[in-house]
Amino acid sequence: MTVPDGARGDGDLPEFLQRLMANAAELPLRHRMHERTTTARRSAVLILFGEGPHGPDVLLIEKSAHLRTHAGQPAFPGGGADPGDDYPVGTALREAQEEAGVDPAGVRVLGTLPELFLGPSDNLVVPVVAWWEKPSEVLVGDPQEVARVARVPLAELVDPANRYRLKHPAGFLGPAFAVADMEVWGFTAGVLEAVLEAAGLARPWDATDVRPIDPDKTRPGGVPGSVGAGGTEDAAAPTVADHQRGDAAARTVPGR
């Protein structure tokens, strides 16, 4: 994990975040990425943890149903870098403020996870991990892009009853979570799974529970959690997926 200049010590952080910071360099996702291209667009997402009314939680947004692609799909706040951004931290904080009303002044940035390359969309995404020291009231920044904002308790994410895998028609399997009236899968679910494991929060769950993906999600532009130009999402495939035949190397779902 890269720690920004001036970051404070982590002694007052929850133990799970201290473990995540200590294990971030070996995040399970790191070994599943393809080589980046020289044309990859720089993007960032904010993985914002806080202490909510139901214990530790993480911030997710649900895309607006009005969008041409990824309508109603969950993701971390995030998007492409703008000129003048202090990338990647500045990009992630700006997007979280625009999409979810997060006040950057109340956020302590802890560091960045290894960059992840989304081949089909040619995006290089840097997850920025942060702790919400002074939570602000979350709100929908732009109703045309975001339908709602959810602080999802980590207890719900690690509950085995809320975990399963989704099967793509091409035969690929990927992690999924049913939380906060959302089905989280694709890039977002893959990152969440790796983060929970690195933080020591993961619990055993039934990986044989495999469900079909809604066909609407597999049409062009139908994979959630990818970051595209202008803060909108484009047709990137999940970057973490286990092939059903048990191949050693994880693959991406080809763009269609």
Quick one: average pLDDT of 26-30?
A: 72
Q: Are 110 and 13 in contact (CB under 8 A)?
A: yes
Q: Which of 11 and 213 is assigned the larger pLDDT? A: 213
Check residue 11 and give its pLDDT.
62
Stretch among 9-13, 116-120, 146-150 having the lowest mean pLDDT: 9-13
Residue 59: pLDDT over 50: yes
Task: Give CA–CA dist 137/126, Å, rounded.
Answer: 25
Q: Taking the domain 15-243, which CATH number applies?
A: 3.90.79.10
Residue 195: pLDDT over 90: yes
Q: What is the token pair recorded at 205? A: 């769950």
Stretch among 32-36, 78-82, 100-104 having the lowest mean pLDDT: 32-36
Residue 236: pLDDT over 70: no
Check residue 214 and give its pLDDT.
79
Longest dimension (CA), the chain: 47
Angle (nearest 5°) at CA 217 between 158 and 67:
100
Binning pLDDT at 50, 70 and 90, where does residue 145 land?
confident
Would you kindly state where each structural domain of the chain is located, as residue ranges? Answer: 15-243
Check residue 27 and give its pLDDT.
82
Residue 55: pLDDT over 50: yes
The Cα-based distances of 236 to 41, 64, 90, 154, 156 in angstroms read 13, 18, 23, 26, 27
Residue 160: pLDDT over 60: yes
Stretch among 64-68, 124-128, 157-161 having the lowest mean pLDDT: 64-68
Element (H, E) at 146: strand 146-153
Check residue 249 and give its pLDDT.
27
Residue 224: pLDDT over 80: no
Quick one: average pLDDT of 223-227?
A: 38
Quick one: average pLDDT of 132-150?
A: 84
Task: Give CA–CA dist 109/9, Å, rounded.
Answer: 11
User: What predicted TM-score, i.e. pTM, was given to this entire model?
Assistant: 0.81
Check residue 105 and give its pLDDT.
96
**Mean model confidence pLDDT for the chain:** 78
Check residue 256 and give its pLDDT.
23
Task: Give CA–CA dist 29/218, Å, rounded.
Answer: 22
Closest alpha carbon to 150 in 125, 176, 129, 178:
178
The separation between CA 58 and the C-alpha centre of its own chain, rounded to angstroms, equals: 10
Check residue 242 and give its pLDDT.
32
**Three-class SS state of 112:** strand
Quick one: average pLDDT of 64-78?
A: 66
